């Protein structure tokens, strides 16, 4: 067995988290893209079907054709949603492979990831559905918080407009809008951060769905800033990759006399609409692995911060595997279902990801 790669098991800041995720991504680019590709292809097919059905709604010649396009639209929406759920499932399967790679230098392989997915597919599916519902609830709560702040500031601006200059009223309005947006973002990431470790807990610690949710809630303490930083970075990188793909396509369409305004989307040629609809999934296929790496690193980091994970790994190396007892312990073993494994030498605080 190879020795573990140099990985510092010390608390990571937001910048360190992103830096290490990108470096690991660069080292395992082709494998990670193969892992992330199947869910993205499902979403891309759904996007194409939705685009075709949307165009057909405006030009259908008969009721039977309209029903056909409705069927295509429902199928496309189901594939879009299924692709996102499938991504969460694959993220769970990848988490175990990535954590064993981080700790023991196990190779990162697509077949290892999908073997882990098959081993707990239905549990991962249930967890993914619960996570999607929770994220939807987080979005509703965030919007409600944004709406309440905007209403309060708007009423204050209306009252102030009776005696204050216009520029001051406009300034208060802008500041209020920014404050409302900040409150909404904090609320969303505070709630979303409660469930981000569910797939990792299920596959790494071998827990059930509801135990994993409870465990994720207990681990997610003070992770809002790092989660926001990672989300903004990946969102910016995804849309940067999207622009790299969109600009040549848009230039070619403009040269051929196609109006690029979104308000004239119904008039776009079929080939352009389909190509445009698959560009976003294709751009996300390049960045989806960063989510997997980032959440795996964040999971390990939370255990180092709250549970002394580095000490636990030293104990596992010196004393062997933790015996399976019928006792609920607040600390889970370093990684579940690894009987007989001999951990390589571990040096706390002296390990780093090679560049």
User: Residue 338's pLDDT is what?
Assistant: 43
Contact yes or no for 65/78 (Cβ under 8 A): no
CA distances to 78, 84, 121, 281 from 42, rounded to whole Å, are 10, 9, 17, 9
In a domain, residue 50? The reply is: yes
CA distances in angstroms from 344 to 5, 302, 309, listed in the order given: 10, 22, 16
pLDDT, position 311: 64
pTM for the structure as a whole: 0.72
User: Is residue 53 situated within a structural domain?
Assistant: yes
Residue 140 lies in domain = 14-319
Rounded to an integer, what distance in angstroms lies between the CA atom of residue 173 and that of residue 212? 43
Reading the chain (355 residues) residue by residue, the pLDDT tens digits are: 333 444 455 566 777 778 888 888 888 888 888 888 888 888 888 888 888 887 777 666 777 777 888 888 889 889 988 888 888 888 878 888 887 777 777 788 888 888 888 888 888 888 888 988 999 999 999 999 888 888 887 777 777 777 777 777 778 778 888 888 888 999 999 998 888 888 888 888 888 888 888 888 888 877 788 888 888 888 887 777 778 878 888 888 888 777 777 666 667 777 777 787 777 777 777 777 887 788 888 887 888 777 766 666 665 555 555 555 444 444 444 554 443 343 344 334 433 343 3
331 lies in some domain: no
Residue 165 lies in a domain: yes
Q: Do the domain assignments include residue 267?
A: yes
Q: Domains in the chain: how many in total?
A: 1
Give the pLDDT score at 348: 41
- Beta carbons of 346 and 314 less than 8 angstroms apart: yes
Asked whether residue 163 is domain-assigned, the answer is yes
Triad 137, 138, 144: Cα angle to 5°: 90
pLDDT at 244: 81
Q: 174-177 long-range CB contacts below 8 Å, 24 or more apart?
A: 176/149, 176/150, 176/152, 177/150, 177/153
Which of 108, 109, 135, 113 has the alpha carbon at shortest distance from 124?
113
3-state secondary structure of 207: coil
Residue 263 lies inside a defined structural domain of this protein: yes
Asked if 69 and 57 count as a contact pair (C-beta separation under 8 A), the reply is: yes
Residue 70 lies in a domain: yes
Q: What is the pLDDT of residue 262?
A: 67
Burial of 285 (0-12, 13-18, 19+ CB in 10 A): buried
């Amino acid at each position: 067995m190879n020795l573990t790669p140099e990985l510092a098991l010390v608390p990571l800041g937001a910048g360190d988290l992103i830096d290490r995720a990108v470096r690991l991504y660069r080292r395992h680019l082709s494998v990670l893209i193969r892992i992330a590709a199947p869910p993205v292809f499902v979403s891309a097919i759904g996007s194409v079907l939705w685009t075709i059905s949307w165009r057909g709604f405006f030009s259908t010649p008969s009721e039977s054709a309209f029903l056909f396009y409705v069927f295509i639209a429902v199928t496309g929406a189901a594939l879009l949603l299924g692709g996102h759920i499938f991504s969460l499932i694959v993220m769970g399967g990848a988490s175990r492979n990535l954590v064993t790679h981080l700790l023991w230098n196990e190779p990162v392989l697509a077949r290892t990831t999908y073997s882990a997915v098959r081993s707990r597919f239905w549990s991962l599916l249930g967890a993914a559905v619960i996570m999607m519902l929770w994220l939807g609830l987080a979005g509703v709560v965030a919007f409600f918080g944004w709406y309440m702040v905007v209403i309060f500031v708007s009423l204050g601006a209306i009252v102030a407009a009776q005696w204050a200059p216009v520029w001051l009223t406009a300034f208060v309005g802008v500041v209020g809008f920014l404050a409302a947006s900040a409150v909404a973002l904090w609320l969303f990431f505070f709630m979303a951060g409660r469930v981000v470790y569910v797939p990792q807990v299920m596959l790494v610690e071998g827990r059930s769905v509801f135990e994993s949710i409870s465990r994720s809630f207990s681990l997610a303490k003070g992770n809002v800033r790092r989660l926001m930083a990672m989300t903004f970075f990946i969102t910016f990188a995804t849309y940067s990759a999207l622009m790299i793909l969109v600009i040549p396509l848009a230039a070619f369409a403009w040269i051929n006399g196609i109006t690029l305004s979104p308000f004239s989307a119904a008039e776009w040629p079929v080939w352009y609409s389909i190509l445009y609809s698959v560009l976003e999934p294709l751009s996300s296929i390049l960045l989806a692995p960063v989510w997997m790496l980032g959440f795996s690193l964040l999971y390990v980091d939370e255990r180092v911060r709250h549970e002394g994970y580095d000490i636990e790994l030293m104990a596992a190396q010196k004393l062997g595997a933790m015996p399976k007892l019928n006792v609920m312990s607040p600390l889970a073993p370093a990684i579940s279902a690894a009987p007989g494994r001999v951990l390589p030498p571990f040096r706390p605080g002296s390990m780093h990801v090679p560049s």
